Structure 1
Amino acid sequence: MKATKAEMKAMALWQLAKNNPSICKSITKSRALLCFAVLLEKGSGDVRYYSTMSIMEIARIAEHNPDLRHSAFKPTSPAAKAVVDQLLRIADKGVFDDLLIPSITTLGCLSKTFRATETWIIGPLVRLLDEREAIVSREAVIALTKFVCKENFFRVEHSKAIIEAGGAKHLVQLVYFGEKLQTEALILLCYISLNVPESEDLAQAGIPAVLAWASKQGHLVQDSRVDSSLPEARGRMELYQSRGSR
């Protein structure tokens, strides 16, 4: 009976949190975040799923709400740390279940809360780029893009962490052969190239050639996000790589 009550509470909070900043703020002011972390660690079945979905809805609001983000997910918060630890465990295991996608999404939404030194967040997400399930790779690409986009203050550090985790070779494969993932993977690659154009690892992974190839693909350059970032990324890569080869 206890498990059923916990499930009902978690499901109710999930539904209440959807697109509702004031409810999300109330939830995070209570001990709910810490409770969710405990349920993720020790719960089972639906209660874990509803807890993960509740956290995801709160994170989605927090991504665009600085007040909520700073109050609920500040780096010094034990509750926030406990939640992130559980989400990372799920991502690190990489088991394709009901918890994986919302966990990846949440980590992406919280990308602005991680400091430059917290690069261990990146590794599990990079490993998911090599996932058989396309939906998992797609969510990992989208999450990582939030770590390296222009809005993220620590985009350079996060870009270096992606490269160090072996992300470049996975992104090359996704841009060339990823079909539905091509555009999203290319956008991520453009951001990384803009942030660390001097990277020898990027050059060795053949990124300049990938960017040159992509610029000739009509279906890719038609996307306004690609059109706004690809020429600059390609130009910066060529400039830095030509300097390095002298």
Structure 2
Amino acid sequence: MKEASTPEAQVSATTALVSLADNQDRGRLITSELGVPIIVQALQKSPILVQILVAKLIAGMAENDEVSQEAFARENVMRPLVTLLSLDSVGSMSNYATTWSINQKERENEPSELKIELQTICARALWMLARGNLANCRILTDTKGLLVLAKLIETKIGELQINCLMNVMEIATAAELNPDMRRAAFRTNSPAAKAVVDQLLRLIHHSEIAGIKILAIRSIGSLARTFPARETRVIDPLVKQLSDQNPDVVTKSAIALGKFVSPDSFLSREHSKTIIEFNGVTPVRRLLGGDDRTHHHALVLMCYLAMHDGNSEALVEARVLTTLEGVDKSTFGQHFQLRQLVVEAVNQLNMYHVGVVPSQKVSYSP
């Protein structure tokens, strides 16, 4: 791979390494033998057939071994991967395109299926590098990666689109867990953040593939604390998905909405009012009769709505107090926090005299 005497020799060498690096020990051995700088150099300077295999090697090593994941980040592999990912819009990455030894016109003449294959495996390599790694997620957002991912999510389908969505979900998960990352990558006036959110909402609204919808829903849920109260357009599609035919879509939507109205969210009260305004109470109440997993998340969501907007007419009309008082106590199981949440919600509704006569206004304890 290093000597690059012929493209055929590079293909053979890289194919052998891809086969060898299929577990943690052998991947780490390649890293310990100082293979990572050679791999990164080959990614930047080789013909497209070799680049595809090199990106596959990077993805495999990063997936199987955290040490290799870190080693590739130290060699700054994220930037060339993002550049290759942006083949259709290389102008947006011109700062990095100058590092290429391959003439851009020569690359443009490559068969489109090869370019798609390269983009697809580069997106997977970036996903494996970003997976569970805050520092790599930061690097990805610092290299115009979000804009490139948003564009590909908009224009591509199939595995390439899914791999790009997996990158976004990793970044969103990192942002959910890290306030600094959240503020840096998803500030309100960020064009890249807006482009990504627009595409996620488009897929939630219009995608007919449940798996793709779920990735978009999970990402929006992870970003719940980045949206201001006026950004109600992110709430509406999630509420609509509570009536989807796919139970996994429904459950993930309930979980995502729960993050908007969780006490962890500074705007939980405002988001609760928005969910209720978008007619979210009826589908949430209906889900309380669903399977155990859906029931659990719907119950959490309903409790938060009751706690934050207990005097809402929609809660009265849906007889939410009666519903919560009638929750089967066996469903709590070991979930002590859920039991406490129901107690707080019922007592809050009682305080607002929702749907009960004065003699019934007592503290509730299941």
Q: Distance in 2 between matches of 1:235 and 1:166?
A: 23
Runs of 4+ in 1 over 4 A off after TM superposition: 242-246
2:344 counterpart of 1:232:
yes
Task: State the Cα distance separating 1:68 from its structure 2 match.
Answer: 0.8
Letter in 2 for 1:68: M
Q: 1:223 maps to which residue?
A: 335
Pick which of 103-112 and 180-189 moved more.
Answer: 180-189
Q: Distance in 1 between matches of 2:248 and 2:140?
A: 30
Residues 243, 3 of structure 1: CA spacing in aligned structure 2 closer, same or farther, 3 A cutoff?
A: closer
Task: State the Cα distance separating 1:157 from its structure 2 match.
Answer: 1.1
Task: State the Cα distance separating 1:142 from its structure 2 match.
Answer: 0.5
2:271 aligned counterpart, secondary structure? helix
Residues 29, 207 of structure 1: CA spacing in aligned structure 2 closer, same or farther, 3 A cutoff?
A: same
Alpha-carbon contact 2:210-2:246 (below 8 Å) kept = no
Alpha-carbon contact 1:94-1:128 (below 8 Å) kept = no
User: Is there any run of 5+ residues in structure 1 with no aligned partner, and where?
Assistant: none
Q: Distance in 2 between matches of 1:55 and 1:30?
A: 14
Among 125, 129, 133, which residue is 1:16 paired with?
129
| Aligned ranges 1:82-161 → 2 under 5 Å | 82-161=195-274
Q: Distance in 2 between matches of 1:153 and 1:136?
A: 26
Q: 1:164 maps to which residue?
A: 277
Q: Distance in 2 between matches of 1:44 and 1:23?
A: 25
Q: How many residues align?
A: 245
User: Is there any run of 5+ residues in structure 2 with no aligned partner, and where?
Assistant: 1-113, 359-366
Q: Distance in 1 between matches of 2:267 and 2:248?
A: 26
Q: Of the two structures, which has the highest relative contact order with CA contacts closer than 8 Å and spacing of 6 or more? A: 1
Q: Distance in 1 between matches of 2:289 and 2:332?
A: 11
Q: Distance in 2 between matches of 1:219 and 1:235?
A: 19
Larger radius of gyration, structure 1 or 2? 2
2:144 counterpart of 1:31:
yes
Residues 98, 232 of structure 1: CA spacing in aligned structure 2 closer, same or farther, 3 A cutoff?
A: closer
| TM-score between both structures, scaled by the size of structure 1 | 0.95
Residues 205-239 of structure 1 show CA distances to partners (whole Å, capped at 9, x for unaligned) of: 1111111111x432236422311211011001111
Q: Distance in 1 between matches of 2:186 and 2:357?
A: 44
% identical aligned pairs: 36
Residues 74-96 of structure 1 show CA distances to partners (whole Å, capped at 9, x for unaligned) of: 11100000000000011112523
Note the aligned Cα RMSD (angstroms). 1.7
| Aligned ranges 1:71-90 → 2 under 5 Å | 71-90=184-203
Letter in 2 for 1:164: E
2:274 counterpart of 1:193:
no
Residues 158, 119 of structure 1: CA spacing in aligned structure 2 closer, same or farther, 3 A cutoff?
A: same
Q: 1:45 maps to which residue?
A: 158
Q: Distance in 1 between matches of 2:284 and 2:227?
A: 23
Pick which of 68-77 and 91-100 moved more.
Answer: 91-100
1:5 aligned counterpart, secondary structure? helix
| Aligned ranges 1:197-216 → 2 under 5 Å | 197-214=310-327, 216=328
Alpha-carbon contact 2:272-2:308 (below 8 Å) kept = yes
Alpha-carbon contact 1:203-1:241 (below 8 Å) kept = no
Letter in 2 for 1:20: N
Task: State the Cα distance separating 1:99 from its structure 2 match.
Answer: 1.3
Q: Distance in 1 between matches of 2:295 and 2:135?
A: 37
